[in-house]
Amino acid sequence: MEEDKKRQEITEKEFEEYSKLLDDALQLSEELMLIEKARKDEDVVISTDGKNILRIPAKKILKEWDKLMDRIDKPYLKANID
């Protein structure tokens, strides 16, 4: 019985690692969605406050992403969409 409880418990470090893994996967899926939308010349629809809705070209968002990657010296993470 005691061993079963130990197997079910997760340490704080394991939880943090798992949480980071999920965050990274979510970020990657968002980037892939942006890349796909940019390739199709589509817009991303964003609600700024639940009332105002903006349509922003995905290419514009990716260009800003690429500028950020240059600033933090990670050009290998650039989307390179033109």
Each residue's pLDDT tens digit, 6-43: 567 889 999 999 998 898 888 888 888 988 999 999 99
- In this structure, is residue 16 part of a structural domain? yes
User: Averaged over 35-58, what is the pLDDT?
Assistant: 89
pLDDT at 5: 56
Residue 6 tokens, joined: 């130990």
* Domain membership flag for residue 2: no
Q: Is residue 38 part of a domain?
A: yes
Taking residue 43's Cβ as centre, other Cβ atoms within 10 Å add up to: 15
Domain-embedded: residue 3:
no
- Mean pLDDT, all residues of the chain: 80
- How many domains does the chain fold into? 1
Domain of 54, in residue numbers: 10-77
Judge whether 53 lies within some domain.
yes
Is residue 41 assigned to a domain? yes
78, 63 Cβ separation under 8 angstroms: no
